[in-house]
Structure 1
Amino acid sequence: MSWMRITADEVAPTAWRNGGGRTRELLAWPHVADWKVRVSIADIDRDGPFSAFPGVDRWFSVLSGGGVILRGRALKPKEGIVHFAGEDAPNCVLIDGPTQDFNAMHRRDAGVFRVQPADRPVIPHGAQWLGLFTQDGGMIIHGHRSVPLAPHTLAWCESPASQSCVFDDGDRHGPAWWLIWSES
């Protein structure tokens, strides 16, 4: 078992068809053409609806900028993460200019996916895939192994050992989330 890592700086942004922003796809797992889990960072430049993804659950959080209004709720940096059905395609209104945002998606018919704050350890019993996204960087400690992470990094491993996983952000208190996938 080894941890893979990718930072947003390593990925070229792709413009949206509607011209409202850009996406840096950090991972489409297990394959880009047939993913179960997709993790990205988006730059939203203007108001507009999210793309519809039928059969997909989505998790969204504002990383930087003035925030957005999504599904009638104002979301600002460091104010947590929202979960919604991808087919809803909610309208997004910028509060005060462009934002940079975290986005995780999971196909509902492809196993079970959980997203939870990385402020507590996890033990990935039964998980086939374990990931962590951090805005500000830090260190994953998995068993007796430490994995350093730069800002805006997604780290993941397949078939993780059922040992305690701890994320240490060095008291930066930036957003970070465990992403956990299992077949059932």
Structure 2
Amino acid sequence: MTAVQFVRLADVAPTPWRNGGGSTRELLAWPNAERWALRLSVAEIERDGPFSSFHGIDRWFAVIDGAGVELRFGSADRIRSVRRGDEVLQFDGGIAPACRLLDGPTQDLNLMLARGRGGLQRLQPSEPLLLRAPLKAVYVADAAVLHRAGAAPQPLVAGSLAWSDAAAGELWTIEAAPGARAWSVAYEPEVEKKK
């Protein structure tokens, strides 16, 4: 049975943005914080302003709390509104969209990948999460229970992450109340070519 690591959002100190528009709490930087290939974080957007540009990075964005945001990707014909309950939005991290709050501060979940393959998706309670990727994670905004084949059920407090980078093929299921907010991450590292 593989080991699963747990991170509580409340235990992670926020890092204020340089532009003063919000803050970020980093939940996971893999394989390490200095040279990450995967980074998962929760951000508090407190006022309108542009996103930071991350060239060469793939991004996924989901609203956890608040009314949501309107993102403008360079021109008026590329506007996307993202609200609580919407599907995850994927975009090129090198594009720094202008962000407008729809109705007050918003909390969001962000996945960034520098290398490898993966993604972030909304997870329905009791929906089996069978991913062949070596790294898998579940973030729950509402209290839930993590079930893994062959392991005791693990309660997850609201605002927590469960993850493992050695769980390829394991069956994970989240048990939660109807309407509970949860997201899954699957990630397969890039295989380095031999020289």
TM-score by length of 2: 0.87
> What is the CA–CA distance in structure 2 between the aligned matches of 1:98 and 1:48, rounded to whole Å?
12
What is the identity, as a one-letter code, of the residue corresponding to 1:112? R
Q: Deviations over 1:103-154 (max 9, x none)?
A: 11111xx2111222222312232x2211111111211211122222111111
**Given the alignment of the two structures, is residue 143 of structure 1 paired with residue 149 of structure 2, yes or no?**
yes
Q: Tell me if the contact between 1:3 and 1:147 (Cα under 8 Å) persists in the aligned partners.
A: no
RMSD of aligned Cα (Å): 1.4
Equivalent residue runs for 1:21-100 within 5 Å: 21-71=22-72, 72-100=79-107
Equivalent residue runs for 1:116-127 within 5 Å: 116-119=121-124, 120-125=127-132, 127=133
Q: Tell me if the contact between 2:61 and 2:90 (Cα under 8 Å) persists in the aligned partners.
A: yes
Q: How many residues align?
A: 180
2:110 corresponds to: 103
Q: Structure 1: 5+ residue runs without aligned partners? A: none
Q: Structure 2: 5+ residue runs without aligned partners? A: 73-78, 191-195
TM-score by length of 1: 0.92
Q: How far off is 1:161 after superposition?
A: 4.8
Q: Tell me if the contact between 1:78 and 1:174 (Cα under 8 Å) persists in the aligned partners.
A: no
Larger displacement relative to structure 2 (17-26 or 137-146)? 137-146
Q: Which runs of 4+ in 1 moved over 6 A?
A: none
